[in-house]
Structure 1
Amino acid sequence: MLASLKAVLCLSDPFDACLWAACACAFWGMMRFGEVSVRTRASFSGILHLKRSNVLSANDLDGVPYARLDLPAAKTAKPGEVQHVFLNAQTAGLSPLDALSNLAQVVPAGADDPLFSWRDGRGEIRPLVRDAALQRVNGIFVALGLGNTYGHSFRIGGASFYLAQGVSPEIVRIAGRWRSLAYETYIRAFEQVSSRHMADLPLPGTGAA
Structure 2
Amino acid sequence: MTGRKRKTSEIPDERTIDISENQNGDEVHELPASSERAIHNEAGRKSTNETKIDSLSQAIDTIQQSLLSLTNVVSKLQQQNPNQSTPTSEPDRVNLPSGSRVPSDSVPYVETVSTNLRNNIIQDDKIQRSSSSSSSNASTSTILERINPVLEKESRDLCESSISDNTRRAYRTGFTVYCQFLSSIGIEAPNYNPPKISEQTLIYFVTHCCNSLKLTYNTIKLYLAAVRFHYVKAGISNPLSSDESCARLQTVLRGIQKQQSSKQKRRPITYSVLIQIQNVLQRGMFGYFLDTMLQAACSLAFFAFLRCGEFTVNDINQDNLLCVEDVVMDRNYKAYTITLKRSKTDPFRTGIQIHLFQSDQTVCPVKSMLKYLNLRRKWYNCVMSSALFTDESGNPLSSHFFITKLKQILKLLGLDDENFNGHSFRIGAATSAAGGQVEDHLIKTLGRWSSDCYTRYIRSDDQTLSRAQKAMCCQKTV
TM range (shorter): 0.7 to 0.9
Q: Does 1:153 align with 2:433?
A: no
Q: CA deviation at 1:91?
A: 3.5
Out of 91, 105, 114, the residue aligned to residue 387 of structure 2 is 114
> 1:92 deviation in Å?
3.2
SS in 1 for 2:329: strand
Partner of 2:290: 15
Structure 2, gaps ≥5 residues long? 1-272, 454-478
Counterpart CA distance in 2 for 1:159 and 1:169 is: 10
Q: Secondary structure at the match of 1:84?
A: strand
Deviation track 1:145-188 (CA, whole Å, cap 9, x = no partner) reads: 12222111101111111111111111111121111159xxxxxx
Distance 1:98 1:64, change over 3 A: closer
- 1:167 is aligned to 438
Question: Which one of the candidate residues 48, 56, 72 is aligned to 2:320?
Answer: 48
- What TM-score do the two structures reach when normalised by structure 2? 0.34
Partner Cα distance (2:296, 2:422) in 1: 14
Equivalent position amino acid for 1:48 in 2: N
Could you say which structure has the higher strand fraction?
1
Amino acid at match of 1:169: D
Give distance in 1, aligned partners of 2:367 and 2:349.
Answer: 30
User: Counterparts of 1:130 and 1:164 in 2: how far apart (Å)?
Assistant: 28
Taking the TM superposition and a 5 Å limit, the aligned residue runs for 1:198-209 are none
1:119 CA displacement: 2.4
Return structure 1 stretches of 4+ with deviation > 4 angstroms. none
Please report the TM-score for the alignment, with normalisation by the length of structure 1.
0.75
Map of 1:200 onto structure 2: none
Cα deviation for residue 64 of structure 1 reads 8.9
For residues 374 and 359 of structure 2, the distance between their equivalents in structure 1, rounded to whole angstroms, comes to 20
CA RMSD across the alignment? 2.1
CA deviation after TM superposition for structure 1 residue 79, in Å: 2.9
Decide whether the 8 Å contact of 1:73 with 1:80 is kept in 2: yes
Identical aligned residues as a percent: 24
Q: Which residue identity does 1:178 align to in structure 2?
A: W
Looking at structure 2, the residues matched to 7 and 38 of structure 1 have their Cα atoms a distance apart, in angstroms, of 26
Secondary structure at 1:157 match in 2: helix
SS at match of 2:424: helix
User: Could you tell me which residue of structure 1 aligns to residue 278 of structure 2?
Assistant: 6
Within 5 Å, which residues of 2 pair with 1:118-129? 118-120=391-393, 125-129=394-398
Q: Larger Cα Rg: Structure 1 or Structure 2? A: 2
The structure in which a higher percent of residues are helix is 2
Aligned length: 172
Structure 1 residues 42-191: aligned runs within 5 Å: 43-45=316-318, 47-58=319-330, 65-108=334-377, 109-120=382-393, 125-148=394-417, 149-180=420-451
Equivalent pair of 1:107/1:117 in contact (CA under 8 Å): no
- Asked if the contact 2:304–2:446 (Cα under 8 Å) also holds between the matched residues in 1, the reply is yes
User: Contact between 1:86 and 1:175, CA under 8 Å: does it hold in 2?
Assistant: no
Residue 28 (structure 1) shift: 0.7
